[in-house]
Amino acid sequence: MNLMIRNALTIDVEDYFQVSAFARYIPRSSWDSLPCRVERNIDRILVLLDEHKIKATFFTLGWIAERYPSMVKRIVENGHELASHGYAHHRVTELSRGQFYDDIARSKFLLEDIGGQSVWGYRAPSFSINKDNLWALDYLEEAGYRYSSSIYPVEHDHYGMPDAPRFAFNPTGSRKILELPVTTVRLLDRNFPAGGGGYFRLWPYAVSRWFLQRVNSVDRQPAIFYFHPWEIDPDQPRQVGISFKTRFRHYLNLGRMEKRLDALIRHFDWGRMDQIFLRQSV
């Protein structure tokens, strides 16, 4: 375990049918008719974190919070940070400025009302803040958020801003909000994704561990790691009619994920986003 640098462990609280890759196959109008599995998965995650005495940040959809308020309260009662993932998993690139503000304000109010604590953090669905919509950071600040973790400095077919800073930064201009990019490793003049999600299921575990160790030991920076509740659920309903690429990305190594998470938690020091990056004022 690295006792020198504490890393941020984050969970994007959404269910299996809400991922952006399924949006063209599963309309939002059908969500209420589908079997939800998020609560049981979150409870398993809470047990895992409690066993290791770790606190984390839960970026939670407002849609989920409305339907599972007791789950949200358990997250808070266990000492974790409650943060926003928007209301209904709309990518920022899909919304007008007014729609975006309504979404982030609605989710913040809802989460604070249920959780009984201030919500300072926001993560855009699918890391959908990029060079073309940096205006979103102004709206986050106006809505009362203090940090965003919405920019992924990698090249990807669905998201990414490869020229963005790799570590915590204040965007240019008058913005005071702090942007906290998901972790990457710089190798061969390229940023490699090292912060979790599907890449954590794709890379051999030793590679992911080495990436995070390098960020701590060479860059001397805290890492930001994320995963989803559905990633520890290999028994989730399987979607039909989806593309091979979508199927590969979503279902790859789900059965190995929980064991890998347990190893990752043991090998590094972990904490909440607010207590690591806003520690002077939280």
Is 33 among the domain residues? no
Q: Distance (Å, rounded) from C-alpha 91 to C-alpha 94?
A: 5
CATH code of the domain in which 14 resides:
3.20.20.370
Residue 69 maps to a domain: yes
CA distances for 166 relative to 53, 209, 223, angstroms:
28, 18, 10
Mean pLDDT of 177-191: 94
pLDDT at 87 over 60: yes
The answer to whether residue 43 sits within a structural domain is no
Residue 95 resides in a domain: yes
Structure tokens, 39: 């609560």
The reply to whether 253 falls in a domain is yes
Can you give the pLDDT at residue 1?
45
Domains held by the chain: number: 1
* Selection from 184, 124, 112 nearest residue 148 by Cα: 124
Domain that holds residue 132: 7-20+52-277
Q: Does residue 252 lie within any of the structural domains?
A: yes
Q: Assess if residue 189 is contained within a domain.
A: yes
Read off the pTM. 0.95
Point out which residues pair with 121 in neighbouring strands. Answer: 147
Assess contact for 60 and 13: CB atoms under 8 A. yes
Higher pLDDT, 156 or 248: 248
Q: Provide the pLDDT confidence category of residue 281 given band limits of 50, 70 and 90.
A: very low
- The structure tokens listed for 40 are 């049981």
Cα(228)–Cα(85) distance, rounded to whole angstroms?
12
SS3 251: helix
* Within-domain flag for 46: no
